Structure 1
């Protein structure tokens, strides 16, 4: 998904933690040359060393989440998913590891999908209706919200799968990890819609292969979501077209899917030029998966408790 570090919740280092089959390596970051980002940087989200020289440390991870209603099976094999969508340039760098050994998982297919700067999902524009004038309304997010969102979420539906309502496929894509477990996408900073904090959906598939029609076979070993720290979201809300949104916004602490555990719950490390988030953001995270397990995102995942309504 301002200067200074953020508290990530209670996470014990590898040498003291009781490890399970679900672990994650806190790595992340990368050279700042991508996406036109340079100079003095503001960092938010998960604290991590620079990619390439990181000192890996494993932490318990139980960040399986709901798939949500707007997933479309991997049929866009590409790293640049932006198409013609306006928004703050975002480079998303993900490292996938085997949670049992902490070794990189190569040739895994990673899906990402998320809404645009005004809350709309491709394939489901009629259902999501996250832009100005859509359900939710409210004032533009010029500060930290104090009211708990009420009423039905703008995303509609619920966690169950629904059929696409249009042929658009912007801000969706699938790509394979390299031999070091890395995969990189170019997209835009997501917007928000009523009932959910800013997030990116993801799936990790193993055991399949690329074909002319997409990625086929194998199974889904991880379904999760990536999240953005509140300070960075507020900074994005000052930039057009995000600043034109009148949709009520849910904060990270109000979100019912994010489990409030920092990087182990999917919190991204964000890097961008100080006071100039419009110039581009680098987001990074390392995710531990169990390649022998199957997690489709419809297997009874329990969201974090929250008084607000939520649309996955």
Structure 2
């Protein structure tokens, strides 16, 4: 949509004072890994083309905030390709960040993503296992009464995805990364289709940071204006379950409708738009979403309770 065809609401807010976002230094871009020449070339080509303005229904709608979860690690991997050596279906995630009041792109924001691998394990927390419930359920009737006092704390991601922050248990950092939005508000990550673990549907965590400064060491200062999660429709997830390594994931799977974090509001709640070959998902999946944020807000995800339900918005799909 061009400027001449913007909705009246957008015209009314043209004179709103724009919030300042610190521009990224050239040194930070040069220092970041692009994860492969072919992938980098495609990303550069995508940034050169001026994308169309977001549809009207994507404006004036804040994307749902969710809990951060226990396994966030502060931005220390400035990269687009977060795959490392993890096996799985190739997944390209394209995110556009816009100011929900004006629908204008939020430039030079730092966007984090992190998620589990195909069998439900988070990097940095491999000792936690796959949600503490990756094996088959026990059978039969117990014959002995437990004695003594338990000495070990439960491990694995809490079923609801909440809980306080956990300190990393190892130095692995696969399937985690941070990159900046371009002048059109876009950022693209290369990763693999996530798996699942006990109590949670398939999802990707995200944070959006603004008003900070890019340095050679990463992104510093500013405020976290959005903490959320991205979700996958059931058809796509079911299509992965017969392929390795997903087929080796023995954790009970929680469906999208059963999840305690997804609020049921479609795109507003983080539901991704997915494209892939229906007869061969193994070839790869492309996911995209527009995230509406308030750049002046602070949403760290520390105090955000799990969502129970929400009415679908105009942007739901």
Residue in 2 that maps onto 1:130: 130
Q: Does 1:173 align with 2:177?
A: yes
* Higher radius of gyration, 1 or 2: 2
Residue in 1 that maps onto 2:97: 96
* Residue aligned with 1:221, SS: strand
**Residue 121 and residue 258 in structure 1: after superposition, are their counterparts in 2 closer, same or farther (change >3 A)?**
same
**Residue 54 and residue 214 in structure 1: after superposition, are their counterparts in 2 closer, same or farther (change >3 A)?**
closer
8 Å Cα contact 1:117-1:241 kept in structure 2: yes
8 Å Cα contact 1:153-1:194 kept in structure 2: no
8 Å Cα contact 1:136-1:153 kept in structure 2: no
2:210 pairs, out of 200, 206, 210, with 206
- Give TM-score scaled by structure 1 length: 0.74
Distance in 2, Cα, partners of 1:197 & 1:83: 23
Q: Does 1:285 align with 2:289?
A: yes
Distance in 1, Cα, partners of 2:133 & 2:299: 32
1:155 pairs, out of 144, 154, 157, with 157
1:17-32 correspondence runs (5 A): none
8 Å Cα contact 2:100-2:293 kept in structure 1: yes
Q: Does 1:264 align with 2:268?
A: yes
Residue in 1 that maps onto 2:72: 71
Residue in 2 that maps onto 1:106: 107
Instruction: Quote how far apart the aligned CAs of 1:297 are.
Output: 0.2
Distance in 1, Cα, partners of 2:218 & 2:90: 25
Distance in 2, Cα, partners of 1:302 & 1:191: 20
2:253 pairs, out of 249, 264, 278, with 249
* Residue aligned with 1:203, SS: strand
Instruction: Quote how far apart the aligned CAs of 1:276 are.
Output: 0.5
**Structure 1 residue ranges without an equivalent (≥5):** 1-13, 17-33, 36-50, 140-151, 306-312
- Give TM-score scaled by structure 2 length: 0.73
Instruction: Quote how far apart the aligned CAs of 1:122 are.
Output: 0.3
Residue in 1 that maps onto 2:244: 240
Instruction: Quote how far apart the aligned CAs of 1:245 are.
Output: 1.2
Cα deviation, 1:4-48, whole Å, max 9, x if unaligned, reads: xxxxxxxxxx889xxxxxxxxxxxxxxxxx98xxxxxxxxxxxxx
8 Å Cα contact 1:154-1:195 kept in structure 2: no
Distance in 1, Cα, partners of 2:224 & 2:277: 36
**Residue 87 and residue 302 in structure 1: after superposition, are their counterparts in 2 closer, same or farther (change >3 A)?**
closer
Instruction: Quote how far apart the aligned CAs of 1:302 are.
Output: 4.1
8 Å Cα contact 1:114-1:200 kept in structure 2: yes
Q: CA RMSD for the aligned pairs?
A: 2.4
Instruction: Quote how far apart the aligned CAs of 1:135 are.
Output: 2.0
Distance in 2, Cα, partners of 1:211 & 1:123: 24
1:221 pairs, out of 200, 217, 225, with 225
Cα deviation, 1:206-245, whole Å, max 9, x if unaligned, reads: 0112223221110100000000000000001111100111
Distance in 2, Cα, partners of 1:228 & 1:15: 33
1:172-191 correspondence runs (5 A): 172-191=176-195
**Structure 2 residue ranges without an equivalent (≥5):** 1-6, 10-37, 40-49, 138-153, 310-317
Instruction: Quote how far apart the aligned CAs of 1:55 are.
Output: 5.6
